[in-house]
Structure 1
Amino acid sequence: MEFALSDEQQQLRDEVRRFADNEIKPVASEHDAGESYPHGVMDAAAEMGLLAPHVPVEYGGVGYSALENAIITEELFAADPGVGLCVSSAGFGAEALIEFGTDDQKERVLPEVTAGDAVMGSAISEPQAGSDVTSVATRAEKDGDEWVINGSKMWITNGTVADYFVVVCETDPEVEDRYSGYSQILVEADRDGLTREKITGKLGIRASDTAELRFDDVRVPEENLIGQRGMGFLQLMQFFDETRTAVAAQGVGIARGAAERALAYAEEREQFGRPIGDFQAIEHKLAEMHTNTEAARWLTYRSAWAVDESPDDVTMLASMAKEFASRTAVEVANEAVQVHGGAGFVNDHDVERFYRDSKITQIYEGTTEIQKNIIARELFDKGF
């Protein structure tokens, strides 16, 4: 049992931390306030090889493991969750191509993404289908050698900036097994009939682009089907095991970033003639914040290890990691604001932004309640 990062992993963490300090922190508040996508940061991230680094080397990526991706994600989110999400989600949906796509699909799309020439999006949620994926109503019907897609998607990350979408569609509504009627289809963003509308006014992660997509007789060639027809639901469940681990890493990054800022403020802010960090009430807050962050990190690392090494364990571990790390992010960010007092209630300090950004980790990629359902189901099925 080894609890230390390898020399290469430690070097990776240090390099990403320097990148985040130099490229993300200086512009974070600007992109949050303007709800603007950080194109300059994305260009710099492409040069660093940080866009979809899990893509295999033969398709332009670095081939990093889930653990190494978790390390990268934590560093990006500790600098700023909104801009960090833009970098970490540039290849959102690439997992479907890596695992199930054809050679042509991989060769056509993945090198563009890793080079920073294209962005991907995963189109799953709909206005009436969030936690219940089997309620997806977007329909794809065969017409000759094409798929014709109609429907709408909501809350889509990278919605107006993406060049490619992996779209979950109902392709076989007549099947008796409700889990076998769905497929994933690759859709280029410039297809006729696809319209996109940016969603603004979000509580947090404002730098990250979010949009509603509408498909009106969008035609794509039949070879855009990803994997086997009717296997979309099962593909998606594997995808969630990986992305929930990534969201757990986001939560760890948010918690660490908030905790570090609270510690620094407690050392410099004085009341009653001494730093507030000298008071036991603040000391206990800081101790709990850092302890819970450390616990969340190692549960996340355990889940990331399982993604690569122990598939039978990953579903429960990914849900455990996401539930705990996202809860830790919200609680630590809340306490960081409390440590800052009135100063934490305005955007002069980063903790105000971290507090707003933290909440989404308990919602996307499956709500906290869904994670608890999954954990309980796995316990009843396999035991502890």
Structure 2
Amino acid sequence: MSTKTTANPKTAIFNPFKKERPFYNEEHEMFRTSLRKFLEKEAIPYFEQWEENHLVPKEFYKKMGEQGILCPQVDPAYGGLGLDFGFNLILSEELSRVGGGCGGANLHSSIVVPYLERYGTEEQKKKYLPKCVNGEIITAVAMTEPGAGSDLSSLSTTAVRDGDHYIINGQKTFITNGINANLIFLAVKTDPKATPAHKGISMILVEGDTPGFSRGRSLKKMGGHSQDTAELIFEDARVPVSNLLGEEGKGFYYLMDKLQQERLLCSNGALAVSQEMLKTTINYVQERQAFGKPISSFQNTQFEIAEMTTELTLARTFLDNLSRRHMDGENIVTEVSMAKWWITDMARRMSARCLQLHGGYGYMEEYDIARRYREVAVMPIFAGSNEIMKNIIARNLGL
């Protein structure tokens, strides 16, 4: 009896950085290619200066609008392209790869404007959406207050009806796009006596030149320096009743309805940043020599890279599944909460591990990992802290 031995084929090199996702098609990749070329020309050469200035210039938004990059999902009737959520994911990925300071365009396009698309009147949509698409309008959503963060129902900013206007008083803080925004989606109490308290919350559109509205400090942060973050102040600001978004008392429900998408995008951004950190670290350890050989040949380095690549692949697989289900209209709040806390925590852990593999050079500002380390620190905090995510998961488990 004879036996044949067949040589094992060479194992293919595993690529954890592939761009393909199960819901992307040729049009998605064309959009990515166009977006990446745009960012290479209009963002990357200026990004360090934006970081020093603590601001992305408004002209950048206008250039994005001219290229059809902003708000790709908006209906063509209002100047958009009517594209699916996959294009928003690509926008999130590519902006995240440039740097956290570019996140304002993603917030505007994929988080704030959808409130107007879903709950705005026809008059509001016609008035604002075309300008949101072309970059003339930059939006922000203002929920957080000095004394109210995760506990949104305890916010104290009030809007009191006075004929055909609301009189708004209060203060907001940690508002992304707070300096650049000229249309604020403001969470207010229209009924401070409502029981439970969240039933008294409404959302009102406040234009940037509204009398009584002013901007406080541009807040200096540990990371994401070019992302303008500010305090907003309302002192007897008069806003027409026609600027109410949806119905009075429904604001809390509107905000909760869109948080699924916001947290999915947050997870997507964390995944993109993690890919960039791991890619630059692999390149570094292959080039860096110690004891006469690349540090990539050391077992500890190989184990670290292997573990991070595994986590990255698991995160991507989970997120791909959730993204498809979200695009199909499923309610996946529990799973999105899982993704948000686990993937952002993974990114934070990975930033420290990648910095450690860079050794002393990782602590130098000239190396990209130093900036990434600062930027990812906020990811487990914004869009609902990861502790809140675990509360949501536990509650939905019946605990």
Normalising by the smaller structure, the TM-score range is: over 0.9
Ranges in structure 1 where 5+ consecutive residues have no aligned partner: none
Q: Helix, strand or coil: the match of 1:208?
A: coil
Partner of residue 303, structure 1 = 322
Question: Is 1:324 matched up with 2:338?
Answer: no
Partner of residue 344, structure 1 = 362
Q: 2:382 aligns with which of 353, 359, 364?
A: 364
What's the CA shift for 1:359? 1.2
Name the amino acid aligned to 1:362.
P
Partner of residue 167, structure 1 = 186
Q: Give the count of matched residue pairs.
A: 378
- Distance (whole Å) between structure 2 residues aligned to residue 278 and residue 114 of structure 1: 49
- Distance (whole Å) between structure 1 residues aligned to residue 379 and residue 83 of structure 2: 23
Partner of residue 177, structure 1 = 196
What's the CA shift for 1:212? 0.3
- Distance (whole Å) between structure 2 residues aligned to residue 267 and residue 43 of structure 1: 41
Name the amino acid aligned to 2:93.
E
Tell me which stretches of 4 or more aligned residues in structure 1 moved more than 4 Å.
none
Q: Helix, strand or coil: the match of 1:352?
A: helix
What's the CA shift for 1:264? 1.3
CA contact (8 A) 2:78 2:130 kept: yes
Please report the RMSD computed on the Cα atoms of aligned residues, expressed in angstroms. 1.8
- Distance (whole Å) between structure 1 residues aligned to residue 91 and residue 262 of structure 2: 14
What's the CA shift for 1:39? 4.0
Please, what TM-score do these two structures have when normalized by structure 1? 0.93
Q: 1:186 aligns with which of 195, 205, 215?
A: 205
Partner of residue 380, structure 1 = 398
What's the CA shift for 1:52? 2.1
CA contact (8 A) 2:23 2:324 kept: no
Larger CA Rg, structure 1 vs 2? 2
Identity of matched residues, %: 33
Identify if the C-alpha distance between structure 1 residues 298 and 109 changes in structure 2 by more than 3 Å, giving closer, same or farther: farther
Partner of residue 199, structure 1 = 218
Name the amino acid aligned to 2:176.
T
The Cα offsets for residues 195-253 of structure 1, whole Å up to 9 and x where unpaired, read as 10233320111111100001001111111010111101100101211111111111011
Partner of residue 251, structure 1 = 270
Ranges in structure 2 where 5+ consecutive residues have no aligned partner: 1-20
Q: Helix, strand or coil: the match of 1:215?
A: strand
What's the CA shift for 1:82? 1.4
Partner of residue 30, structure 1 = 49
Identify if the C-alpha distance between structure 1 residues 40 and 266 changes in structure 2 by more than 3 Å, giving closer, same or farther: farther
Identify if the C-alpha distance between structure 1 residues 196 and 368 changes in structure 2 by more than 3 Å, giving closer, same or farther: same
What's the CA shift for 1:4? 5.9
- Distance (whole Å) between structure 1 residues aligned to residue 256 and residue 273 of structure 2: 25
The Cα offsets for residues 55-106 of structure 1, whole Å up to 9 and x where unpaired, read as 22222222333333123211221222212x0321234521211110001111
The Cα offsets for residues 132-184 of structure 1, whole Å up to 9 and x where unpaired, read as 01011100010001111110101001111101000001111222232311110
Name the amino acid aligned to 2:232.
L
